[in-house]
Homo-oligomer: A and B are copies of this chain.
Amino acid sequence: MRQYKKVLLGVASIVLIIVLAACGNIDDSSSSTSSSGKKTTSVQTTGQVSKSEYAGVIKNGHYLTSKARGLTANRNSNSLNITSFENGLLGVSKSYYSTSNYIFQEGQYLTTAKLTNWLGRKSKSNPTGLNPKDNGKKNSSRNPIYVESIEEQDFMQKNGNSLVLKGITIGIAMNTIDYYQKIKYGATYQQTITSKERVAYGKKVAKLIVERMRKIKKIGKNVPITIAMYKQAANDSLVGGSFYAKTQTTSSNISNWEKMNVENKVFPEISSTSDYASNDNKSFENFQSQIENYFPTISDVTAQAKYVNKKITGEQVTITTQFYSETEIISFTNFIAQVAPKFLPSGVPVNITVNSANGIQAFLSRSSTQRNFKSHVFSSY
C-alpha cells in the first residue's frame, strides 16, 4: 500500500506564540473584555498590506495555519506543481472572493486525518478513499491514482467579535501521469491518464467532496463552495501544471463547470511548433542570446510564461550564472535592465532572477504598468 506523506514539511497546525498586538496594522477590533477586566483577544486579522492581497487570520495571537497542508498521494511529485497549485488556487479564489471584502483563512475544515483517507484508494479499511480500488494489476490496465492533492482555503467576514465563514475554495489536483512501482523501492513506471478520463473522474470526485463538506456542521448547507480543478505537470516538467475548470455551488450539487484555458510554457521551447506562444518564444530567444554572451560562463537562461485564453499574463525569467564579482554583477544587472524591455512582453508582470551556485545575485521586476525594470543586487557588508 502507498504511504501518504506530507510533502516537504507539514508542521502545519501548531499553535504559535506571537505578540501581534504590538503591530499597528493588526486589526484588533475583535478583542473582548472579560468580566475580570482582563483583555482576552480572540480573533484578529493581520491587516491588509496591499489591495491585491488578503488579510489573514490571527487566532489567540498566533497565525492560524492550515489543518492539512501539502498532503499529496504520491511523494515524488514535482515541487513546481505544489507552488503552482497553491499560487494558482489563490488566484482562482480572488476571482470569487474579493481581497477587500474577505479575510483569508488557511483551511480549517479538512483535517490531515480526513484528507489522508480521501487521497487513498477506496478499500474496506478506507471507505472514504477518492481514488479507485486497487484492481491488482501492475500494468496499464491498473486503476491509476487520479487524485493527487486537495487543498482548502477559507474566506471569512467579520460579524461583531467573531469571524464568520462566507466561502470556501477547494482545489483538486489531478494526475495526468500516475507514477508507480511494481515492487517496493523498484523502478518507477508511468501510466498516462487521458484528458477525458481525468476530467470525468475529477467531476465525480468534486461532487463527492461537495456532498461530504455539506455534512460538516460548521460549514452548513449554503456557504458558497468554489471548486478548482488542476492538472499536474509531469515530474520532469520545468513548469507547474495548470487549472482547467472551476465552478461554485451554494448547494450539494454542481450544476455546471466553467472551462479555464490556462497553459504554462517553458522558453526557449524545445520544438518550435508555431502556436500562440511562438512570437513570445522568439522574442525570448533574442533576449537569451543577448544575455548568454555577456559573460563566458552563463549556463542557463530560461523562462516560464503563463497564458490565459492564449494571451500571455506574465513571465518569470531565471538566469543562472557562475559567481562574479560585485562590479560585474552590478554591470550585468544594468545590462539586463536595458535589454529586457526590448524583448520581454510588455503589459504583464515580468520577474527576472539572476542566480549562482551561491544563491540569488540580483532580482529585476516590472509590473504590468511599468516600462522600466526595477533592480536589486544582493550584497552583504
Partner-B contacts on A (CB < 8 A):
8-9, 11, 14, 16-19, 22-26, 46-50, 53, 56, 63, 65-66, 69-70, 79-80, 82-84, 86-87, 90, 104, 106, 153, 239-240, 264, 290, 293-297, 304-306, 314, 316, 322-323, 325-328, 330-332, 334-335, 337-339, 342, 351, 353, 355, 358-360, 363, 365, 375-376, 378-381
Instruction: Give the residues in chain B near A48, CB-CB below 8 Å.
Output: 334
Instruction: Give the residues in chain B near A331, CB-CB below 8 Å.
Output: 46, 56, 63, 104
CA separation between A13 and B239, bound complex, in Å?
36
Instruction: Give the residues in chain B near A106, CB-CB below 8 Å.
Output: 327-328
- Check A381–B84 contact: CB distance below 8 A: yes
Measured CB to CB, the closest approach of chain B to A108, in angstroms, equals 13
Instruction: Give the residues in chain B near A69, CB-CB below 8 Å.
Output: 325, 328
- Check A16–B294 contact: CB distance below 8 A: yes
- Check A325–B66 contact: CB distance below 8 A: yes
Q: Which of B56, B86, B295, B322 is A326 in contact with, Cβ under 8 Å?
A: B86
Quick one: copies of this chain in the complex? 2
Once A84-B381, A381-B304, A381-B305 are accepted as A-B contacts, the answer to whether A342 and B296 lie under 8 Å apart by CB is no
Instruction: Give the residues in chain B near A290, CB-CB below 8 Å.
Output: 18-19, 22-23
Instruction: Give the residues in chain B near A326, CB-CB below 8 Å.
Output: 83, 86-87, 90
Measured CB to CB, the closest approach of chain B to A296, in angstroms, equals 5
Once A23-B342, A327-B153 are accepted as A-B contacts, the answer to whether A294 and B46 lie under 8 Å apart by CB is no
Q: Write the chain B residue with the least CB distance to A375.
A: B49
